[in-house]
Amino acid sequence: MSAIGFMIPLNKADYTSYASNVGGPRNICATDPSSWWTNENIQFTGTVDATTARVGDTVVIQVGVQGLTNEGLAAFSVIQNVQAWVCYPNTVAGGASASLVVPSMQNNPASYSDTTDSAFEVEGGGVYEDPSFSFHWIPLSSWTPTEDDFLGQSSHEGHCCVIANAAGFANYSNMPPNPTPDPIPEGAVITPDSELSSQINICTNPWQGQRNVAIVAAGAIGGIRANPIFHFLSGAPELETSSKTTIAVTAIDQKGQIDPVIFKVLSSGPHARLPLKPASSPPKSLRLVRHPHERGGWLAEIIREAEEIVEELLGLDQHKFGGGHKLNLSLPPRGLQPLRLEVELDPTDPPGAVHAIDITQTDANGARGGIRVGLVVIP
């Protein structure tokens, strides 16, 4: 795979690493130490914040595409198609599953398509920080969330996982602006949901990405701090055989500053006016449990609950940060288990205190998936 062309970079570090490796082997789900599900170049506009949707809003998904090049060669890439699917919040590792796409988007992804000369163009070789030549935000068709699109975070708004794919062509030459006439295809045009499982591979494909960042507010009810709860799905919905997977939740040491992934969302959302600062101590407890709510409609069709769940405490009392809770799941074929994260916060946490938490799923083959959760204390 050549580095010439374009990518949906996870962040600046991902772009730099991939470009310097000239498009070499990539498996960010298994080997990359960063959380690949926090892609900052996929975002919502027209709603609560970059990762939270609200029922009835007209939401536009934007996908950021970055130009790539080989040393000594300039690349001119034309982005002809971009698709994005909103999924239930989930920790499924690796690729994607059509079963996870929310009901209002079934067989109807948000999309951009332009095969004319006016299509978006990115020039490889530019610096990541300067979007004038090398980076474009591409807006897709609008999406209107419905109540059925959320698992239970709220009756009015909730977190969603967004998966994106970009496709187009790249010409390159030693002497720009006269590119060679031979186009190099990049990415793939993927439209039907049935192709999600076979053609989306976020782990290895630089033209695909996922953003799975949740902001959960912890407020007070009757003057008493309410402990937040977050609902999500885990499992292996595409495996035709029984499997095992491990779900873990851990508090992140933010090292004196709010986790940058979470801060970028908070700073442009409804909590931006709070005196935001990293929590000085971890949550008092973190716990993963089955999600027992009654399910109907599409969710009832896709759920195949775990046959066995083994719980394990990860030593929250032994580590200032990094401890937590773990579940080992034995899943039936196409297993998909609804879970919830229950958090007990210190009642002395002041308004504006921010906790960063990762929920991760690790399959038997080492593939990882996850969700980054930001808990913000509100008055």
Q: Concatenated DSSP letters for 126-194?
A: S-TT-HHHHEEEEEEEEE---GGG-SSS-SSEEE-EEEEEEEEEEEEESSTTS--S--EEES----SGG
Q: What is the pLDDT of residue 373?
A: 95
**Confidence class for position 23, pLDDT limits 50, 70, 90:** low
Lowest mean pLDDT among 53-67, 168-182, 290-304: 168-182
Lowest mean pLDDT among 28-37, 205-214, 257-266, 324-333: 28-37
Q: What is the pLDDT of residue 172?
A: 53
Q: What value does the CA radius of gyration of the chain take, rounded to a whole number of Å?
A: 21
CATH 2.60.40 range(s) for the chain read: 214-377
Mean pLDDT for 8-17 is: 84
Q: What is the mean pLDDT of the chain?
A: 85
Q: Which structure tokens are listed for 88?
A: 């239930």
Mean pLDDT for 283-296 is: 84
Does pLDDT of 283 surpass 70? Answer: yes
Kindly state the percentage of the chain with pLDDT values over 90.
47
Beta-carbon contacts of 245 under 8 Å, excluding residues fewer than 6 positions away, are 93, 234, 235, 236, 328, 329, 331, 361, 362, 363, 364
**Confidence class for position 22, pLDDT limits 50, 70, 90:** low
Mean pLDDT for 310-324 is: 73
Fold of 214-377: Immunoglobulin-like (2.60.40)
Does pLDDT of 2 surpass 50? Answer: no
**Confidence class for position 188, pLDDT limits 50, 70, 90:** confident
Q: What is the pLDDT of residue 174?
A: 46
The predicted-structure confidence for 106-164, as pLDDT tens digits, reads as follows 989 999 999 887 888 888 756 666 667 789 999 999 999 988 888 866 555 677 799 99
Does pLDDT of 38 surpass 50? Answer: yes
Q: What is the pLDDT of residue 134?
A: 86
Q: What is the pLDDT of residue 143?
A: 95
Does pLDDT of 221 surpass 50? Answer: yes
Task: Tell me if 137 sits within 8 A of 183, measured CB to CB.
Answer: no
Does pLDDT of 271 surpass 60? Answer: yes
Task: Tell me if 192 sits within 8 A of 107, measured CB to CB.
Answer: yes
- Comparison of pLDDT for 21 and 210, the residue scoring more: 210
CA of residue 350 relative to chain centroid, distance: 28
Q: What is the pLDDT of residue 189?
A: 84
Task: Tell me if 370 sits within 8 A of 363, measured CB to CB.
Answer: no
- Start-end of H helices in the chain: 12-20, 131-134, 196-199, 260-266, 297-302
- Comparison of pLDDT for 288 and 78, the residue scoring more: 288
d(CA 223, CA 221): 5
Q: What is the pLDDT of residue 312?
A: 86
- Comparison of pLDDT for 30 and 227, the residue scoring more: 227
Q: Which structure tokens are listed for 202?
A: 């976020």
Q: What is the pLDDT of residue 119?
A: 86
The predicted-structure confidence for 223-245, as pLDDT tens digits, reads as follows 677 788 999 999 999 899 999 99
The predicted-structure confidence for 272-282, as pLDDT tens digits, reads as follows 999 999 998 88
The predicted-structure confidence for 318-376, as pLDDT tens digits, reads as follows 666 767 899 999 999 999 999 999 999 988 899 999 999 999 999 988 888 999 999 99
- Comparison of pLDDT for 284 and 129, the residue scoring more: 284
